[in-house]
Structures are given as structure tokens and as C-alpha cells.
């Protein structure tokens, strides 16, 4: 297991590991370098989820926007493409992201049709946030508080043949468990790109969910475990990996917990505030570029 204090140090440390131990593989017409075994990463201070490494050119705004997208349970591209236009390249129809995590987490259903949810908190299907919270409220030491992201009805076959899609979910399951009085979180990922997945949004998004749940339960945030069955980078980004690997992780320590102070006491309270934020962002987005800048300035200041 690789242990790091925060996301900055994880990016530096795993860049070094990939350069030292990575092997080349050809996949889908691209060359990538991967660690030839599953990787488990422990982030000991998961609320320290910002990347402050200048060379990374990390998009802080998009981390927050995608977290809003996930928590709202929607998968319409209109919320994310104004911030990252490239997201359209991973959508089959450029209108919905079929493998978006939010719909699966907050509206999981048994339909064979792909999710197409534009409005937040649709109330259709199973809200897995609610399942986790109620499971741990019933028994704080339960080992059953797990969220399923992979949906066999939608992801495996279509009309009796293997599903053909640009977008299969990389993250597959999420588990929460109390350890030493704090809420730990473990994410299982089938395949993980160090630059565009792990360090861009994955750890940011899922540690924030860990913090939501901890706040609602009234417990402290514990450790975050990131289990990637395949961790890699694409060969054309080797120069960036070399830059990250050459950095001193001691220059990016965790001086304090970054946990936000919250008085959220229930999922209903969380959802009420979520709806306010969702429609506030939408209103500003409809105003165009000026509105988006207002949103960034208002909501994403350090």
C-alpha cells in the first residue's frame, strides 16, 4: 500500500512509481505506461484535496462542478461542458454522459435503458446516499454501507451483444466504514489514468462525498483508500510525469485539516442546500461568460 498525506503528495509519489516500475501497453490504439499490478493508495488527510502544484495546472473549478453534478444525480452535459468542452468527446450523443456517477449513485435503477436525467434529485430509482446514511445510523459499525456504480443491465450488453459505447464507468464501487471512530472510504476503480482521472477529479470527488456522509452522520472524516486495478498514464504525457516525479513532496505538507465546518444534520437538509446551489449555478450559466465568472468567484474561493 502506498501512503500519502494528501493529494499533492499522491500525485508526486505515484508519478515516481510509474517512472520506476511502469511497463508499456498498447490499448485502443494508444500507448500507455502502467504499474503491472493492482495499486492501493491511502490518503491520510483526505479533506486536503486541492492540488497546489503549479506545473499540474489543476482545474479547481471543474472539481467542484463535477462534484455538484454527481451529488445532484444528473448526467446532462449542459452542466459540465461550459467548464471543460472536451467532456463532449466521451459522450455517445453529446447530450448525456451515460456512465456519469451521479445518476447511478442517486437514482440507481434496473432499466436496460441508459440514464438520461436532466433535473436534480429526480426521485427515480434507489438513492444510494440514503442507503449508506440509514445503514450507518442503524449500526454505526456496519460493513454493509456500500454504493454500486457498475450497472450490469446498462453496461454489459445491448440487444444481446457487448455494449458499444465511448463511456464505460471507471469507478465501480464505493464503501464507507467506521474505523477508530472516524469514517473511512474505499473506492474501487477498474482503470485509472493518473493525470485525467485520479488527480483531476476522482479523489477530489469521492473524498468530498466521504465528507458529506461524515457531516450528516456527525462523525469525523477518517482515511481514504483508492484501489486501482490498473494505474497508468498515456505515453505522450511522459514529460509531465517526469516533472511531477522530480518534485519534493515535503514542499506540499498538510498543515491542518481542510474539513469544512458544517451543520448539516440530515440528507434532507443536504439536498435542500444542493438544490439551491444547482439552480444558482444554472442561473449564472444562462447569463453566459460573465455569469460563469461570477460563479467561480462566488463559490470556489479558497
Residue positions annotated with a catalytic role: 170
Longest C-alpha distance within the chain, in Å?
Answer: 54
DSSP helix/strand/coil, 177: strand
- Residue 6 to residues 209, 251, 280: CA-CA distances in angstroms? 16, 12, 31
Q: Contact, 136 vs 145, CB < 8 A?
A: yes
d(CA 158, CA 125): 21
As to burial, measured by CB atoms within 10 angstroms (0-12 exposed, 13-18 middle, 19+ buried), residue 160 is exposed
Q: Contact, 67 vs 260, CB < 8 A?
A: no
d(CA 183, CA 218): 10
Q: How many helices (H) and strands (E) does the chain have?
A: 9, 12
Q: Residue 144 CA to chain centroid, in angstroms?
A: 21
Amino acid at each position: 500500500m502506498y501512503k500519502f498525506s494528501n493529494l499533492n503528495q499522491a500525485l508526486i509519489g505515484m508519478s515516481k512509481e510509474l517512472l520506476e516500475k511502469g511497463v508499456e501497453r498498447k490499448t485502443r490504439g494508444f500507448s500507455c505506461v502502467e504499474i503491472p499490478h493492482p495499486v492501493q493508495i491511502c490518503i491520510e488527510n483526505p479533506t486536503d484535496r486541492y492540488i497546489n502544484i503549479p506545473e499540474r495546472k489543476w482545474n479547481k473549478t471543474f472539481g467542484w462542478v463535477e462534484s455538484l453534478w454527481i451529488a445532484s444525480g444528473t448526467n446532462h452535459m449542459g452542466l459540465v461542458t461550459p467548464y471543460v468542452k472536451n467532456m463532449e468527446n466521451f459522450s455517445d450523443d453529446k447530450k448525456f454522459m451515460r456512465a456519469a456517477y451521479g445518476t447511478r449513485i442517486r437514482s440507481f435503477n434496473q432499466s436496460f435503458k441508459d440514464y438520461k436525467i436532466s433535473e436534480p434529485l429526480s426521485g427515480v430509482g434507489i438513492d444510494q446516499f440514503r442507503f449508506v446514511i440509514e445503514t450507518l445510523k442503524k449500526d454505526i459499525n456496519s460493513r454493509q454501507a456500500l454504493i454500486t456504480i457498475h450497472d450490469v443491465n446498462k453496461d454489459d450488453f445491448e440487444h444481446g451483444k457487448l455494449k458499444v459505447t465511448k463511456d464505460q464507468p471507471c469507478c465501480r464501487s464505493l464503501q464507507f466504514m467506521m474505523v477508530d471512530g472516524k469514517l473511512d472510504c474505499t473506492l474501487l476503480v477498474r482503470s485509472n489514468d493518473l493525470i485525467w482521472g485520479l488527480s483531476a477529479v476522482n479523489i477530489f470527488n469521492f473524498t468530498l462525498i466521504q465528507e458529506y456522509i461524515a457531516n450528516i452522520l456527525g462523525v469525523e472524516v477518517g482515511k481514504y483508500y483508492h484501489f486501482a486495478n490498473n494505474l497508468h498514464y498515456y505515453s505522450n504525457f511522459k514529460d509531465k510525469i517526469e516533472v511531477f516525479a522530480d518534485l519534493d513532496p515535503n514542499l506540499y505538507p498538510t498543515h491542518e485539516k481542510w474539513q469544512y465546518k458544517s451543520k448539516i444534520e440530515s440528507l434532507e437538509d443536504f439536498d435542500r442546500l444542493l438544490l439551491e446551489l444547482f439552480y444558482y449555478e444554472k442561473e449564472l450559466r444562462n447569463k453566459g461568460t460573465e455569469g460563469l465568472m461570477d460563479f467561480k468567484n462566488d463559490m470556489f474561493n479558497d
